[in-house]
Structure 1
Amino acid sequence: MIHINMFSSADKVAGQGVGSAYLELMRLLKKYGQQSFEVTVNQYGSADISHYHTIDPQFFLSTFIGHRGRKIGYVHFLPETLEGSLQLPRPIKAILDKYVIAFYKRMDQIVVVNPIFIDKLAAYGIPKSKIAYIPNFVSQDEFYAQSEHKKAQTRASLGIKADAFVVFGDGQVQKRKGVDDFVALAKRHPEMNFVWAGGFSFGKMTDGYEKYKKIIDNPPKNLTFTGIVERKSLVDFYNMADVFLLPSYDELFPMSVLEAFSCQTPVLLRDLPLYQAIISGYYASGSDLAGLDEQLVYLKENPEERQRLKLAAKAAATKFSEQNLAKIWQDFYLKQAHNQMSQLVEDLMKN
């Protein structure tokens, strides 16, 4: 049996995709990998594989001490993707950027959730041979299509009429997520209802905190900010929406999009190259505020297009299902364990 130790603090901060991806993988290994893997969390003893999900300083130090086995780094962000998320003094930001790359370079193998980041990591000096692409996934047991009755109940709990056109978005309230455009669209369309689930996961360190705090405290009448919602409750929000809208300017592979797909909710996204690389054909898009506005109006007025996107979402959910990804992760870990054993044999022969 292969011993995998997970190093992670991803689930300590609510409302962020890194934590969701970590919890999904842990649940998948518990469900599908019990015969092959022994999984521990944040243990500093020996392991065959050490999988680092977050870049905590104590985790970085652990790579220099003890027998960590094959060191796997899970890349959920790069220095440039932190822009618009955290408000940090320039000197501290420069140090953080260098630290992030130093952490990744300490790994024996890197896993990215979007293939577009392979070239970006290579530009930082990490060999492409050390980078693997494995997409995110969600459980269809937790995110699924609900009945019309349940959808109506969720709408009623938010004070929204059963026949209203509802646009839902979620994520941390920050500039990078495109919250400004979400608010602007709500102002342009008082005939629609907008709901945003999420808050300030990093408190006052969030870039633009004061600005967004004022918006949350005094939103347009047709816009509801729910604050951070427990992940198990998000299925209700995706289902009660006519459209899931994520106007982010920069992402890797947002869990929220997969969750919306799994609930068979039509998805509208800002037109980004990183989406084209992984989910092309499964969503509607707009390149800017005007484009998103045009698409939103079109979707409201054309229920047949919403139905097409529902079917596309269902197809995407199958592609990125836990069943498909279970085999991919199992093969990946087995290969890493084999590589670790080969390295040990090679080291013994040298000595």
Structure 2
Amino acid sequence: MAGGVSSMNLVVNMASESDVSVQGHGVHTAYLELATALERRDDVDVVRGRYGERVDCDVYHLHTMGTGVWPKILDPRTRTVVSAHVVPDSLVGSLRGARWWRPLARRYMQWFYRRADRVLAVSGTVAHALETELRVDPGRIEVLHNTIDMAAYRTSPEDRGAARLELGFDDDAFVVLGVGQVQPRKRVDLFDRLAREHPGMTFVWVGGIPFKHLAADHGAMRRLMERAPENLRFTDVLPHPEVRRYLQAADVFCLPAEQENHPMCILEAAGVGLPVVARDIPEYDDTFGHDVLRCRDATFGEALVHLREEPLTYRAWQERSRRIADRFDSAAAAERLVGIYREVAAAASSAG
């Protein structure tokens, strides 16, 4: 089967080393969502994982680039698709000392991505970095945004009430939710400052420091969590179903991160129907556009106040989140992805 298209279903080995390592991040969620969407189809068989070894399949699809997937990326028999979730800029403010070893990481990413037959950029900004900084052949790059099964996130008033009761939020609390690793790049310090400036609101950050002492500014981030004001709750890393409960219980989603590619947490918040307040960064230009309320440091607080005090404004931004949900549902992404698999597998067959 390797090196050619199966006469029956296409067999894809989809792998993310987050299966066997740290899972409290968006790459793992993106991998799970896409694998699950493909498994619902009747024209493709998905083999998950199998690290440190080659797999008899038509196509490898890799989401991470560690040593566990080297046997796959180096397998000359089988074509490889790689999802580019990370570019060099993603490391700064995420891992300890990244500014110093970024050049080495850039060279490694260049080697890894250039070995793939197709590289799937999660945003236009990532595609630009792949082509200009990492020198990947533009003919091998496609933009395929992260997606989720939006039906799994639809939230009724009954769901919301049950989630708030379970998590201990008062009926009249205005809950501002953030999700992600506690790291400088996410600007959790600004989230903390917003909580201090708006004591009448309830702030919750779902996430922790899964990479522990390898994380950037680990000590400072740990102190920030320990010294949080009374109206700010940190949950640490949670299983994904529990993250969804917090989304269902919230009123607004707030992500002040300074660098993102195509964050899963915004898709999840949109699926629940929350207005999304996020930093005004160019990475969102070709993905969320003006369907998220884009802010600077000085305007996040004002945006939250408007959403709390102006029901018409709140409903308008809920409607914009519904547009995001319509655009980024996983069923359409799976359909397109199967077409990509068939293209690269067919190319291998003709070359052989």
Q: TM-score, normalised by structure 2?
A: 0.91
Moved more, 138-147 or 183-192: 138-147
SS at structure 2 position matched to 1:207 = coil
Deviation at 1:90, TM superposition (A): 6.2
- Identify the residue that residue 349 of structure 1 maps to in structure 2: none
User: Is the 8 Å Cα contact of residues 282 and 312 (structure 1) preserved in structure 2?
Assistant: yes
Q: What amino acid maps onto 2:225 in structure 1?
A: I
- Identify the residue that residue 318 of structure 1 maps to in structure 2: 326
Deviation at 1:10, TM superposition (A): 2.2
SS at structure 2 position matched to 1:194 = strand
**How many angstroms apart in 1 are the aligned matches of 2:262 and 2:309?**
29
- Identify the residue that residue 36 of structure 2 maps to in structure 1: 27
SS at structure 1 position matched to 2:285 = helix
- Identify the residue that residue 232 of structure 1 maps to in structure 2: 241
2:123 is the counterpart of 1:114: yes
**How many angstroms apart in 2 are the aligned matches of 1:102 and 1:194?**
42
**How many angstroms apart in 2 are the aligned matches of 1:176 and 1:38?**
34
**How many angstroms apart in 2 are the aligned matches of 1:116 and 1:206?**
24
- Identify the residue that residue 223 of structure 2 maps to in structure 1: 214
User: Is the 8 Å Cα contact of residues 60 and 103 (structure 1) preserved in structure 2?
Assistant: no
Q: What amino acid maps onto 2:340 in structure 1?
A: F
User: Is the 8 Å Cα contact of residues 246 and 268 (structure 1) preserved in structure 2?
Assistant: yes
Q: What amino acid maps onto 2:144 in structure 1?
A: I
Matches within 5 A, 1:32-111: 32=41, 34-42=42-50, 43-65=53-75, 67=77, 69-88=78-97, 92-111=101-120
The count of aligned residue pairs is 340
The RMSD of aligned alpha carbons is 1.8
**How many angstroms apart in 1 are the aligned matches of 2:332 and 2:60?**
23
User: Is the 8 Å Cα contact of residues 6 and 51 (structure 1) preserved in structure 2?
Assistant: yes
Moved more, 149-158 or 274-283: 149-158
Deviation at 1:119, TM superposition (A): 1.8
Q: TM-score, normalised by structure 1?
A: 0.91
User: Is the 8 Å Cα contact of residues 108 and 130 (structure 1) preserved in structure 2?
Assistant: yes
**How many angstroms apart in 2 are the aligned matches of 1:335 and 1:271?**
36
Matches within 5 A, 1:297-312: 297-312=305-320
**CA offsets 1:161-183 (integer angstroms, 9 cap, x no match):** 21111100100000111101101
User: Is the 8 Å Cα contact of residues 142 and 232 (structure 1) preserved in structure 2?
Assistant: no
Deviation at 1:295, TM superposition (A): 1.1
User: Is the 8 Å Cα contact of residues 264 and 314 (structure 1) preserved in structure 2?
Assistant: yes
**How many angstroms apart in 1 are the aligned matches of 2:96 and 2:293?**
31
Matches within 5 A, 1:158-177: 158-177=167-186
SS at structure 2 position matched to 1:190 = coil
**How many angstroms apart in 2 are the aligned matches of 1:111 and 1:229?**
28
- Identify the residue that residue 277 of structure 2 maps to in structure 1: 268
Runs of 4+ in 1 over 6 A off after TM superposition: none
- Identify the residue that residue 343 of structure 1 maps to in structure 2: 351
Tell me, which stretches of 5 or more residues in structure 1 are unaligned? 345-351
Q: What amino acid maps onto 2:182 in structure 1?
A: V
Tell me, which stretches of 5 or more residues in structure 2 are unaligned? 1-8
2:293 is the counterpart of 1:293: no
Q: What amino acid maps onto 1:26 in structure 2?
A: A
- After superposition, the Cα gap between the structure-2 partners of 1:38 and 1:140, relative to the gap in structure 1 and judged at 3 Å, is closer
- After superposition, the Cα gap between the structure-2 partners of 1:61 and 1:94, relative to the gap in structure 1 and judged at 3 Å, is farther
SS at structure 2 position matched to 1:248 = coil
Q: Kindly, what percent of the aligned residue pairs are identical?
A: 30
Deviation at 1:125, TM superposition (A): 1.3
Q: What amino acid maps onto 1:295 in structure 2?
A: A
Moved more, 200-209 or 96-105: 96-105
